[in-house]
Amino acid sequence: MPRNILHIDCNCFYASVEMQRRPELRDKPLAVCGDQEARHGIVLTANYIAKPFGVKTGMAIWQAKQKCPNLIVLPPDYREYIRFSRMAREIYEDYTDQVEPFGLDESWLDVTGSVGLFGSPMAIAKEISERFKFELGITVSIGVANNKITAKLGSDYKKPDAITRIEADNYKQIVYPLPVEDLLYVGPATSRKLRSVGISTIGRLAECPEDFLVRRLGKMGAVLSMFANGRDNSPVCRSDHIQNIKSVGNSATTPRDLVCEDDVRIMLFLLAESVAVRMRELASRCTVVEISVRDSDLYSFTRRRTLQTPTCSSTEIAETALDLFQRSYHWDKPIRSIGVRGAGLVEATSATQLSLFSDDKKRDRWERIDSAMDHLRHRYGYMSIQRAIVRTDPLLAGINPVDDHTIHPVGYFAG
């Protein structure tokens, strides 16, 4: 049975919320930006008045001000954005219980079962759009399609305050000319690979034989071929669905650039500790360690390695991360931010395959030291015990990666 899926995207969400609550800013170029002091000074969202000047998400504040000298820069107020996001969800839940959020400002809705009650998917989309304007004072773009991927292309197609229906009759006409990067999961690396073989639009991708894509891109080739043809059958999760946690990670943009391996070592130990703490809280161990590195030009990459035995020892995670780093970074540029992630989580109590060669006794000891540190920090605070190596740099040592939470990016493939 064909489904009816809506993808709803709040236009310039952070900026729109700020404009709603401060009417005097509505006709001025506006950008919500991260904290300049802590070096998160980039544009998070710009409004539609600032965008024509060339102000883009991810740009440094000084660059944005160069493009648009009258730009008004506001700090983010996540509490208010979360409140708006919750109110938006209340609207969605008047129509369906299948609501799947994608970040704070986007959601998929499966309204297949609601058509009898509320009218056609287009009618539902119109009603939701009107309610957003009246109840929240912000606008949305809505894509209407029979699957999640195409619905998202629809909501991106026309902005702001628009509804785009993409179905079999107009699919080729609307989707085929779009640049291939518009498709979910075509990032810079995949885009480069596709463009190098002449695939620049979604249409080209759709018409390309699947086995060719699989040869070029691995299993993502098959997924992208499906996406490009509008054949995505992933369900919209229910409201009460709790995702299995597949990985825990933490990253930090450091107060100063990291310029040598000692700096990186400190950060990796700090981050590995926080990741290990969270894994122990979840009673799990990771089988894969992943690092992400972003240099001062904002070029970033990730590297991962599968471990022989699952672990939740911060030392082991940090040492693996450091080894990965040493093998993959050549210090062309200083580093701006760095992250560690433990993936492929397994339950800590599940049977583990012991290795013939690795030193399990030592690992056990390290895990006991970790848990002793957890207890101390729980009773006397995070700073009560630290690794000596961390103390070599007071600026970096001041970071508390356990409590200074970050909002984590979400993935499309639900667990």
Partner 1 sequence: MEEIRDRKFVPVTVRFDAEGKMRPIEIEIDEAHKYQIDRIKDVRRAACQSAGGVGDRYTCLIRGQEAYLWFGDGRWWVALKRHPA
Residue 160 engages partner 1 in binding (rule: CB under 8 A):
no
| 13 counts as binding partner 1 under rule CB under 8 A | no
H, E, C per residue of 332-401: CCCEEEEEEEEECCEECCCCCCCCCCCCHHHHHHHHHHHHHHHHHHHHHCHHHCCCHHHHHCHHHHCCCC
Helix (H, G, I), strand (E, B) or coil at 46: strand
| 63 alpha carbon, distance to own chain's centre | 24
The residue from 134, 350, 361, 403 that contacts partner 1 (CB under 8 A) is 134
In sequence order, which ranges of 132-250 are alpha helices (DSSP H)? 148-157, 171-175, 188-196, 202-207, 210-217, 219-228
Interacting span for partner 1 (CB under 8 A) from 80-88, 187-195, 263-271, 323-331: 80-88
Q: How many residues bind partner 1 (CB under 8 A)?
A: 16
Locate 339 and state its tokens: 């992250």
Instruction: Return the number of the residue (80 or 181) whose C-beta is nearest partner 1.
Output: 80
Q: How far is the CB of 135 from partner 1 (least distance, A)?
A: 5
* Contact of 46 with 64, CB cutoff 8 Å: yes
- Contact window for partner 1 (CB under 8 A) among 17-25, 224-232, 285-293, 305-313: 17-25
375 binds partner 1 (CB under 8 A): no
In contact, 36 and 276? CB cutoff 8 Å: no
Phi, psi dihedral angles at 210 (to 5 degrees): -65, -40
Q: Which of 38, 83, 299, 378 binds partner 1 (CB under 8 A)?
A: 83
- Of 133, 327, 378, 408, the residue at the interface with partner 1 (CB under 8 A) is 133
Q: Which one of 24-32, 205-213, 239-247, 354-362 is the stretch in contact with partner 1 (CB under 8 A)?
A: 24-32
Residue 82 found at the interface with partner 1 (CB under 8 A): no
Contact 105, 139 (CB under 8 A): no
Q: How far, in Å, CA of 185 to CA of 219, rounded?
A: 12
Q: Where are any strands of DSSP class E within 25-123?
A: 30-33, 43-46, 72-74, 99-101, 106-110
CB of 313 to partner 1, least distance (A): 44
Nearer CB in complex with partner 1: 133/391: 133
Q: Which residue lies nearer to partner 1 by CB, 136 or 226?
A: 136
Given 93, 130, 135, 211, the residue binding partner 1 (CB under 8 A): 135
Angle, alpha carbons 306-309-310 (nearest 5°):
85
From 1, 24, 37, 353, residue interacting with partner 1 (rule: CB under 8 A): 24
**Among 2, 22, 376, 381, which residue sits at the site for partner 1 (rule: CB under 8 A)?**
22
Interface pattern 36-75 for partner 1 (x via CB under 8 A): ----------------------------------------
Q: Minimum Å distance from CB 26 to partner 1? A: 7
- Minimal distance, residue 99 CB to partner 1, in Å: 17
Give yes or no: 181 in active site.
Answer: no
Burial 216-241 (b: 16+ CB within 10 A, else e): bbeeebebbbbbbbbebeeebbeeee
Q: Which residues are within 8 A (CB) of 19 and not within 5 positions of it... i.e. 6 or more apart? A: 25, 26, 30, 47
Q: How far is CA 254 from CA 186, 385, 396, in A?
A: 28, 21, 7
Q: How far is the CB of 249 from partner 1 (least distance, A)?
A: 32
Cα-Cα-Cα-Cα dihedral sign, residues 226, 227, 229, 233:
positive
Q: Of the ranges 131-139, 214-222, 264-272, 358-366, which one interacts with partner 1 (CB under 8 A)?
A: 131-139
Residue 305 within binding range of partner 1, rule CB under 8 A: no
Q: Which DSSP letter does residue 235 get?
A: P
d(CA 253, CA 336) in angstroms, rounded, equals 6
* Alpha-carbon span 13 to 407, nearest angstrom: 16
Smallest gap from Cβ 415 to partner 1, in A, equals 33
- Tell me how far apart the alpha carbons of residues 10 and 32 are, in angstroms, rounded to a whole number: 15
Residues 87-106 that bind partner 1 (CB under 8 A): 87
Binding range to partner 1, per CB under 8 A, among 79-87, 117-125, 167-175, 264-272: 79-87
Which of 60, 73, 136, 178 binds partner 1 (CB under 8 A)? It is: 136
Segment contacting partner 1 by CB under 8 A, of 130-138, 171-179, 180-188, 303-311:
130-138
Q: Which is nearer to partner 1, 87 or 197 (CB)?
A: 87
Catalytic residue among 100, 106, 273, 367: 106
Q: List residues binding partner 1 (CB under 8 A).
A: 20-24, 26-27, 83-84, 87, 133-138
> Would you please indicate which residues are annotated as catalytic (active-site) residues?
106
